[in-house]
Chains A and B, each alone.
Chain A
Amino acid sequence: MKKWLAMLTALVMLMSVAGALAEVDLSAYVSDPAEKITIAWLAGHDTEPIAEGDTVVKWLEEKFNVTLDMWFLERENYDELLTTRIMGGEIPDVFMLQNATQFSKFVKQGVVMELPLEVVKQCMPEGYAWLIEYDPGCFDNVSYNGKNYGLPRVNGDGYFNYAPFWRADWLKKFGYDNGKVPMTLEECEEVFYHFANDDPDGDGIKNTYALSNTGMNPIFGAFGALPDRWVDDGEGNLVYGAVYPGMKDALALLAKWYKDGLIDPEFITGENQGGYWALSVPFENGQIGFSSSGAYYHLAPDFDGPKNEETGEGGNFQYGRTMRTFASTVGYENMIIGFNPTGPDGKQGGESWGLTTDEAVVFSYKLKDQPAKVARILEMINTIGSDFDTWLKIWNWDLESDQYDYDELLGYVAKEGHERVDEGSHTNMFNTLQNPFFAMKVKPAQYEWAKSLPQFRTGGYSNTMLPITTASMPNYWTSMDTLRQTTYVAIITGEMPVDSFDSFVESWYQMGGKVITEEANEWYHSK
Chain B
Amino acid sequence: MTKAKKKMKGSTRVLENRGEGLFQTILTIVFLLMGLTFLYPYWHVLVTSFTSPDYASAAGFKLWPQSWSWDAYIRMFNASYLWKGYANTIKVVLLGWSCSLVGVVLSSYPLSKKDLPFRGLFTGMIITTMFISGGMIPTYLLVNNTLGMRNSYFAIILPACVSSSHVIIARNYFMTLPTELEEAATIDGASSLQVLVRVILPLSMPILATISLWVIVSNWNAYFNCLLYITDPNKYVLQVVLRRIILTDSKEMTSVAEAVANQTDTDIVTLRAASIMLATIPIICVYPFLQKYFVKGVLIGSLKG
How far is A222 from B161 in the complex, measured between Cα atoms in Å? 59
**Is B256 a contact partner of A436 (Cβ separation < 8 A)?**
yes
**Is A51 a contact partner of B233 (Cβ separation < 8 A)?**
yes
Contact of A285 among B58, B256, B258 (CB under 8 A): B58
| A47-B244, A273-B59 known; A157-B256 Cβ under 8 A | yes
Interface residues of B in 110-159 (CB under 8 A from A): 136-137, 140-141, 144-145
| A48-B244, A88-B145, A446-B260 known; A275-B267 Cβ under 8 A | yes
How far is A279 from B268 in the complex, measured between Cα atoms in Å? 11
**Is A276 a contact partner of B256 (Cβ separation < 8 A)?**
no
With both chains docked as a complex, state the minimum distance between the C-beta of B136 and any C-beta of chain A, in angstroms. 6
With both chains docked as a complex, state the minimum distance between the C-beta of A52 and any C-beta of chain B, in angstroms. 8
Interface residues of A in 29-54 (CB under 8 A from B): 47-49, 51
How far is A297 from B244 in the complex, measured between Cα atoms in Å? 24
How far is A320 from B136 in the complex, measured between Cα atoms in Å? 42
Name which of B27-35, B83-91, B200-208, B224-232 contacts chain A: B224-232
CB nearest neighbor in A for B253: A277
Q: Is B263 an interface residue (CB 8 A)?
A: yes
Q: Is B54 an interface residue (CB 8 A)?
A: yes
CB nearest neighbor in B for A328: B54
Chain A residues with CB under 8 Å of B255's CB are: 155-157, 357, 428, 434
Contact of B257 among A73, A272, A276, A439 (CB under 8 A): A439
Tell me the dominant secondary structure on chain B's binding face: helix
**Is B247 a contact partner of A75 (Cβ separation < 8 A)?**
yes
**Is B259 a contact partner of A157 (Cβ separation < 8 A)?**
yes
CB nearest neighbor in A for B145: A88
How far is A73 from B140 in the complex, measured between Cα atoms in Å? 15
How far is A72 from B233 in the complex, measured between Cα atoms in Å? 10
With both chains docked as a complex, state the minimum distance between the C-beta of A228 and any C-beta of chain B, in angstroms. 18
Q: Is B261 an interface residue (CB 8 A)?
A: yes
Contact of A274 among B231, B256, B257, B269 (CB under 8 A): B269
With both chains docked as a complex, state the minimum distance between the C-beta of B119 and any C-beta of chain A, in angstroms. 37
Q: Is B250 an interface residue (CB 8 A)?
A: yes
Tell me the dominant secondary structure on chain A's binding face: loop
Q: Is A401 an interface residue (CB 8 A)?
A: no
**Is B265 a contact partner of A297 (Cβ separation < 8 A)?**
no
**Is A273 a contact partner of B57 (Cβ separation < 8 A)?**
yes
Chain B residues with CB under 8 Å of A74's CB are: 227, 240, 243
Interface residues of A in 72-128 (CB under 8 A from B): 72-77, 80-81, 83-84, 87-89
Chain A residues with CB under 8 Å of B233's CB are: 48-49, 51
Q: Is A281 an interface residue (CB 8 A)?
A: yes
Contact of B227 among A47, A51, A81 (CB under 8 A): A81
With both chains docked as a complex, state the minimum distance between the C-beta of B178 and any C-beta of chain A, in angstroms. 49
How far is A434 from B257 in the complex, measured between Cα atoms in Å? 8
CB nearest neighbor in B for A282: B59
The number of chain B residues with a CB under 8 A from chain A is: 38
With both chains docked as a complex, state the minimum distance between the C-beta of B77 and any C-beta of chain A, in angstroms. 17
**Is B56 a contact partner of A275 (Cβ separation < 8 A)?**
yes
**Is B257 a contact partner of A77 (Cβ separation < 8 A)?**
no
Q: Is A244 an interface residue (CB 8 A)?
A: no
Chain B residues with CB under 8 Å of A276's CB are: 57, 250, 267-269
**Is B256 a contact partner of A329 (Cβ separation < 8 A)?**
no
Q: Is A469 an interface residue (CB 8 A)?
A: no
- Counting chain B CB atoms within 10 Å of each CB, the highest count among A74, A89, A281, A431 belongs to A74
Q: Is B251 an interface residue (CB 8 A)?
A: yes
How far is A155 from B255 in the complex, measured between Cα atoms in Å? 7
CB nearest neighbor in A for B246: A47
| A273-B57, A428-B258 known; A72-B263 Cβ under 8 A | no
How far is A144 from B256 in the complex, measured between Cα atoms in Å? 27
| A276-B268, A284-B58 known; A87-B257 Cβ under 8 A | no
Chain B residues with CB under 8 Å of A321's CB are: 252, 259, 262
**Is B261 a contact partner of A427 (Cβ separation < 8 A)?**
yes
How far is A281 from B56 in the complex, measured between Cα atoms in Å? 10
Residues in A lying within 8 Å of B, measured CB to CB: 47-49, 51, 72-77, 80-81, 83-84, 87-89, 155-157, 272-277, 279, 281-282, 284-285, 295, 297-298, 313-314, 318, 320-321, 324-325, 328-329, 357, 395-396, 425, 427-428, 431, 434, 436, 439, 442-443, 446
CB-defined A-B contacts under 8 Å, sample of 14: A48-B244, A76-B243, A76-B247, A77-B224, A80-B136, A88-B141, A156-B255, A275-B269, A297-B256, A318-B263, A320-B259, A324-B265, A396-B257, A425-B251
* Given A77-B227, A274-B269, A276-B269, 10 extra CB contacts under 8 A: A47-B244, A84-B140, A88-B141, A275-B268, A276-B268, A313-B263, A313-B265, A321-B259, A325-B267, A443-B260
